[in-house]
A and B are shown apart, each in its own frame.
Chain A
Amino acid sequence: MNVNPTEAERTLESIRETEDQMRKALGASGGAYQIIIWGVIMAIGYTLNQFADRLGVVLVAVPWIILSVVGNILCAVISFRMGRKFHHPMAARIGFLWVVFVLFGMIGALFVHPTDPREINLLIYLLVMLWLAVMGLWVRLPLLWISLAVTGLLMFGYFILPDYFFLWLALVGGGTMIGSGWLLLRGRG
């Protein structure tokens, strides 16, 4: 089979375009939107946490509850729609893994009894990052790097910026997730 250099270049260009299109389709298929949704929720929620002294418990807790319920519903809808375009052989296990993590987190809380709000939120966030790390190992490696990077930044905020920890969570946790989701949408994940 003979292919001249011009044909070869056109073929490679066609391959590049198709790969880009597929990466964008992958990014837009759901995972990116879910990450952005939780990023926005965390950015808003933790910003409220930072000003809890002035706002009071109700004005912090109620928005968190509403945002979490709406977030979970949106993510469930996205997961359902995503299942139509892409299939992962471990999709069911991925879903169950989160349930298992939540269960172990609740069991751990029975024994550890964190009382400091910063500790409680950090532990929840670490659980989320652990889940993301496992997702990275199972499904898409960039998720592992994101989880490790965010965990490192969280530790920095917890030990170095204790008075502004919730604002740090909003910025680092929420901001990183929004940025990561945006990158995935652009096919860069």
Chain B
Amino acid sequence: MPELDEIIHQPVRLRLMAALVAIKGGESADFTLLRDLLGVTDGNLGAHLRRLEDAGYIALTKKFVDRKPHTFVAATTLGRSVFHSQVAALEEIIRSAGGGKAKR
């Protein structure tokens, strides 16, 4: 049975990583964009971001935009790799059970 990463396999964190991995080319997403995309509160998102940052899966950058502090979030190389492994593991679970729609 393929291994699932316990840190990333939490619904909000998994969707958060999915959102960040969808961004290519070195760009990072604003905290409020992610909060609205995921439909969570500031505090909830903050807690998940801390967990992923501690694991080394994301990197946070603070910048001033229009004289207001903004937090931008990007997936790290490790984070992307773990996310892709997670997806591959989920697809393998479906394939092993003889399921049809394994691929994203």
Q: Which residues of A contact B (CB under 8 A)?
A: 1-5, 8-9, 11-12, 14-16, 18-19, 21-23, 25-26, 80, 83-90, 138-141
Decide: A9 near B22, CB < 8 A? Known: A15-B87, A21-B37, A87-B30.
Answer: no
Contact across chains for A85 and B101 when beta carbons are under 8 A apart: no
Determine the chain B residues whose CB is within 8 A of the CB of A12 once the complex forms: 87, 90-91, 94, 101, 104
Contact across chains for B22 and A22 when beta carbons are under 8 A apart: yes
Q: Which residues of B contact A (CB under 8 A)?
A: 1, 4, 6, 9, 11, 14-15, 18-30, 33, 37-38, 61, 63, 65-66, 70, 72, 87, 90-91, 93-94, 96-97, 99, 101, 104
Bound state CA distance, A141 and B101, in angstroms?
A: 29
Q: List 20 A-B contacts (CB under 8 A).
A: A1-B4, A1-B9, A3-B4, A3-B9, A8-B91, A9-B101, A14-B14, A18-B37, A19-B19, A19-B21, A22-B18, A22-B37, A25-B33, A26-B22, A84-B66, A85-B33, A86-B29, A86-B30, A87-B61, A90-B26
Bound state CA distance, A79 and B65, in angstroms?
A: 12
Decide: A140 near B24, CB < 8 A? Known: A8-B94, A12-B91, A87-B61.
Answer: yes
